[in-house]
């Protein structure tokens, strides 16, 4: 058969897993036949009380959706999606979750939130972006929960980026497995002490749509879940639609078929419109995961009865509404309850009660206060743990250490002291201990559950820290080279950077992200890049850039202790002080426990008092390799150059910058990055704005040439980068000004 004939045959072959939009009823029946959990029989097996609870909450969700539609002038002021059609499987999942579990509900999961015990009122507060929205205080969309509340599974922050929740959720499961491997009690379980907390092993539920399943990051998550056999359930709610794109347009296979490509991932299908089928299938999945028999993907077919969202309305593009309507889970459950002997009156009463509650809650939510505008900037960061330098920076008799060893020792100290700390990335584990040996022997010392190699998955490496942190682990991770951080940027921006702000401080993410960076000696275009300006456009993360061993050790520990995401940029050219002119990067090694608060610059070299008095001096504001170029260059101008080493780029010690600027009146901002539109240029602008009257010359800037990459040949590299000679030339001009 030719390739074309084969694909044509595949297209016409009966596809029981597909939920073709124009044939919903028959496709659902076909899918039901393929379900591993026998749907109709299971309905009868479910306890009637549970069915009744599901029925009430299904009506509550449906009443809410109807009310939002009726009141859309107010309710659709901010965009929202509702569960209509998906309620059965969402409620089944909610009922099986325990308070010691972790959940990542999707943006369509308002019925799941009701099932977890949230009041309609609380959900409506988020719909209306009110101050008392328990998740975000009016900062993020409807049904984007984040919650630490007794009696409810922990719900860490997740973004509105479809599919991106898979990695943080898997990171949470990874943390659970980690705690178990170390025989440590998960903090949440300890908090909820007592038999009921200890009796069941916690798990993670990651809810996701069929459209979102095709995001590449989902495959990274599945890979890790299987590799480490993590306790997680991926619940795929498949309504055969993205926004307006149908399943046939969006994917070559269903999520169930996709899962078959991941050996070690247990998969099963349920009829998501049938509470009994959903509950039975999910019960099996929960038992499997609680029994620590690996991850499970549950594929649930669901009709989509409401709009995609309040802004993208079903009547604009849906030819299949009638067919989906036939799958409405509500009348089905109604019939099942009647068949189970529940009186029609009782069902009617439940429906009336749901309606009354929803209407009363709506009135209450409308009357609730809006956020105080003055609070808009609260919770950018959680307060830092280290606010003053402490410990011994230069212990008597201590040897000098290379920067790479100072980093290694800092992490070693942390791993020894904090059992919740773990360190992972590409090649950091095993025998090698990092391609720069920056993690040498740590895996041997602490075991390969604490220090381990990951697959080549930068998104997982960074994004997993969000889930890790929510469970209480303290992840240290590494991106092998700054040039390869880009696949992780999505997680960094969407999940990590916004978590603290959007959860009103409930879920700051303490993640220490080590990133070897910088150029020297022919590293070439993909192992030499500088990236700090890009990182510095991301709010909600901190960026540290030490220039010597002592700072490396003190800042590494402060970065670890910081409750926020911190990126540690570690210059490869300084690691061993092998590059001529970088001998000062090697310093006496501080004692264990030494810390330097983030956001404090240091004077790396003072100017001579007499030269200063005579007005013969200039200031170089720089960091990383720039400190060493500036030191070498300043030998041409004895006593005339002060060098301010920023050490942390965000938060920036702007006070130190302005104070030093005022001392000298002449400033050069020096960076290794291409200058155009860089952090250095931005800083120069700020200095000019704030110190204008103190300046005797425009603020000079010097950086690399404005090219997309650093060429491999060392002579070409030299042309591209700043150097001591180039800095000296700039300083000569500045001092002459």
Ranges assigned E (strand) in 479-633: 511-517, 542-544, 565-571, 587-588, 602-605, 618-622
Number of residues binding to ligand TPP, judged by CB under 6 A: 13
Q: Which residues contact 30 (CB under 8 A, 6 or more apart)?
A: 14, 16
CA distance 627 to 634: 10
Provide the minimum distance between the beta carbon of 161 and ligand TPP in the complex, in angstroms, as a whole number. Answer: 4
Q: Among the candidate windows 89-97, 241-249, 287-295, 449-457, which touches ligand TPP by CB under 6 A? A: 241-249
Provide the minimum distance between the beta carbon of 243 and ligand TPP in the complex, in angstroms, as a whole number. Answer: 5
Q: Which residues from 542-601 bind ligand TPP, rule CB under 6 A?
A: none
Provide the minimum distance between the beta carbon of 538 and ligand TPP in the complex, in angstroms, as a whole number. Answer: 17
Per the rule left: phi > 0, alpha: psi between -120 and 50, beta: everything else, 246 is: beta
CA distance 466 to 161: 15
Residue 278: C-alpha distances to residues 93, 211, 290, 519 (Å):
8, 20, 18, 55
Provide the minimum distance between the beta carbon of 211 and ligand TPP in the complex, in angstroms, as a whole number. Answer: 3
Q: Among the candidate windows 159-167, 316-324, 337-345, 666-674, which touches ligand TPP by CB under 6 A? A: 159-167
Q: Binding ligand TPP by CB under 6 A: which of 161, 435, 538, 711? A: 161
Residue 713: C-alpha distances to residues 38, 524, 674, 709, 716 (Å):
66, 7, 18, 12, 5
Provide the minimum distance between the beta carbon of 111 and ligand TPP in the complex, in angstroms, as a whole number. Answer: 12
Residue 242 touches ligand TPP, criterion: CB under 6 A = yes
Provide the minimum distance between the beta carbon of 160 and ligand TPP in the complex, in angstroms, as a whole number. Answer: 5
CA 356 to chain centroid: 39
CA distance 332 to 25: 13
Provide the minimum distance between the beta carbon of 306 and ligand TPP in the complex, in angstroms, as a whole number. Answer: 10
Q: Among the candidate windows 69-77, 155-163, 474-482, 662-670, which touches ligand TPP by CB under 6 A? A: 155-163
x/- track of binding to ligand TPP for residues 84-123 (CB under 6 A): ------------------------x---------------
Residue 254 touches ligand TPP, criterion: CB under 6 A = no
Q: In terms of CB distance, is 108 or 631 closer to ligand TPP? A: 108
In the block, which residue shows the tokens 């009637």? 48
Decide if 510 contacts 477 (C-beta within 8 A): no
Which 3 state secondary structure label does DSSP give 395?
coil
CA 451 to chain centroid: 21
Decide if 317 contacts 72 (C-beta within 8 A): no
Residue 256 touches ligand TPP, criterion: CB under 6 A = no
Residue 308 touches ligand TPP, criterion: CB under 6 A = yes
CA distance 238 to 210: 5
Q: Which residues from 24-83 bind ligand TPP, rule CB under 6 A?
A: none
Decide if 371 contacts 130 (C-beta within 8 A): yes
Q: Enter the DSSP assignment of 399.
A: P
Provide the minimum distance between the beta carbon of 234 and ligand TPP in the complex, in angstroms, as a whole number. Answer: 12
Q: In terms of CB distance, is 156 or 516 closer to ligand TPP? A: 156
Kindly list the catalytic residues: 527
> Residue of minimal CB distance from ligand TPP?
209
Q: Among the candidate windows 156-164, 396-404, 479-487, 609-617, which touches ligand TPP by CB under 6 A? A: 156-164
Q: Binding ligand TPP by CB under 6 A: which of 8, 131, 243, 322? A: 243
Report the 3 state secondary structure along 635-698. CCCCCCEEEEECCEEECCCHHHHHHHHHHHCCEEEEEEEECCCCHHHHHHHHHHHHHHHHCCCC
Structure tokens at 20: 């073709």
What residue spans of 326-457 are helical by DSSP H?
329-339, 344-367, 403-417, 442-446
Residue 241 touches ligand TPP, criterion: CB under 6 A = yes
Which 3 state secondary structure label does DSSP give 521?
coil
Q: Binding ligand TPP by CB under 6 A: which of 143, 146, 239, 491? A: 239
x/- track of binding to ligand TPP for residues 193-212 (CB under 6 A): ----------------xxxx
Q: In terms of CB distance, is 135 or 362 closer to ligand TPP? A: 135
Binding site for ligand TPP (CB under 6 A): 108, 160-162, 209-212, 239, 241-243, 308
């Amino acid at each position: 058969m030719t390739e074309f004939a084969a694909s044509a045959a595949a297209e016409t072959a009966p596809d029981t897993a597909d939920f073709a939009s124009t044939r919903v009823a028959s496709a659902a029946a076909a899918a039901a036949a393929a379900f591993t959990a026998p749907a109709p029989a299971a309905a009868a097996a479910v306890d009637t009380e549970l069915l009744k609870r599901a029925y009430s909450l299904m009506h509550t969700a449906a009443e809410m959706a109807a009310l939002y539609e009726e009141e859309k002038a107010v309710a659709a002021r901010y965009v929202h999606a509702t569960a209509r059609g998906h309620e059965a499987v969402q409620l089944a999942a909610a009922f099986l979750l325990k308070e010691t579990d972790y959940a990542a509900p999707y943006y369509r999961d308002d019925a799941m939130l009701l099932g977890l015990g949230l009041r309609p009122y609380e959900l409506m507060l988020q719909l209306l972006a009110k101050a008392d929205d328990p998740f975000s205080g009016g900062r993020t969309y409807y049904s984007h929960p984040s919650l630490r509340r007794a009696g409810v599974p922990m719900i860490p922050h997740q973004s509105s980026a479809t599919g991106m929740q898979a990695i943080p959720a898997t990171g949470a499961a990874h943390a659970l497995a980690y705690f178990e491997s170390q025989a440590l009690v998960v903090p949440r379980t300890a908090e909820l002490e007592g038999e009921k907390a200890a009796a069941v092993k916690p798990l993670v539920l990651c809810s996701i749509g069929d459209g979102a399943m095709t995001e590449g990051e989902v495959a990274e998550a599945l890979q890790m879940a299987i590799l480490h056999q993590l306790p997680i359930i991926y619940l795929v709610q498949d309504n055969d639609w993205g926004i307006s794109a149908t399943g046939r347009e969006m994917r070559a296979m269903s999520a169930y078929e996709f899962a078959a490509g991941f050996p070690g991932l247990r998969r099963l299908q349920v009829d998501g419109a049938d509470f009994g089928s959903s509950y039975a299938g999910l019960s099996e999945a929960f038992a499997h995961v609680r029994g620590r028999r690996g991850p499970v993907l549950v594929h649930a077919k669901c009709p989509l009865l409401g709009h995609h969202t309040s802004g993208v309305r079903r009547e604009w593009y849906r030819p299949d509404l009638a067919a989906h309507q036939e799958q409405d889970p509500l009348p089905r459950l109604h019939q099942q309850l009647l068949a189970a002997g529940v009186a029609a009156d009782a069902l009617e009463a439940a429906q009336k009660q749901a309606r009354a509650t929803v209407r009363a809650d709506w009135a209450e939510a409308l009357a609730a206060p809006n956020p105080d505008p003055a609070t808009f900037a609260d919770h950018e960061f959680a307060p830092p743990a280290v606010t003053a330098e402490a410990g011994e920076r230069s212990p008597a008799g201590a040897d000098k250490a290379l920067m790479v060893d100072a980093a290694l020792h800092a992490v070693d100290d942390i791993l020894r002291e904090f059992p919740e700390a773990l360190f992972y990335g590409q090649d950091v584990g095993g025998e090698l201990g990092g391609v720069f040996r920056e993690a040498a022997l740590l895996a041997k010392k602490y075991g390969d559950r604490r220090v381990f190699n990951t697959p080549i998955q930068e998104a997982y490496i960074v994004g997993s820290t969000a889930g890790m942190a929510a469970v209480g682990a303290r992840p240290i991770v590494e991106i092998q080279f700054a040039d390869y951080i880009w696949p992780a940027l999505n997680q960094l921006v969407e999940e990590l950077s916004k978590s603290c702000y959007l959860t009103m401080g409930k879920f700051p993410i303490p993640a220490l992200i080590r990133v070897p960076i910088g150029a020297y000696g022919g590293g070439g275009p993909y192992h030499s890049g500088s990236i700090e300006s890009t990182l510095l456009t991301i709010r909600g993360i901190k960026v540290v850039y030490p220039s010597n061993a002592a700072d490396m050790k003190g800042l590494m520990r402060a970065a670890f202790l910081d409750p926020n995401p911190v990126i540690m940029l570690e210059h490869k050219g300084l690691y061993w002080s092998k590059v001529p002119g970088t001998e000062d990067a090697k310093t006496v090694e501080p004692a264990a426990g030494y810390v330097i608060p983030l956001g404090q610059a240091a004077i790396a070299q003072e100017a001579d008092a007499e030269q200063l008095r005579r007005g013969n001096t200039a200031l170089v504001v720089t960091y990383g390799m720039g400190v060493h170029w500036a030191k070498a260059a300043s030998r041409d101008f004895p006593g005339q150059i002060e060098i301010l080493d920023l050490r942390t780029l965000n938060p920036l010690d702007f006070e130190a910058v302005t104070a030093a600027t005022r001392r000298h009146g002449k400033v050069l901002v020096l960076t290794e990055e291409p200058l155009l539109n860089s952090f250095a240029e931005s800083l120069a602008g700020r200095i000019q704005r704030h110190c204008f009257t103190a300046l005797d010359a425009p603020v000079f800037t010097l950086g690399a040439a404005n090219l997309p990459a650093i060429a491999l040949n060392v002579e070409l590299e030299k042309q591209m980068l700043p150097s001591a000679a180039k800095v000296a030339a700039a300083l000569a001009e500045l001092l002459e000004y």
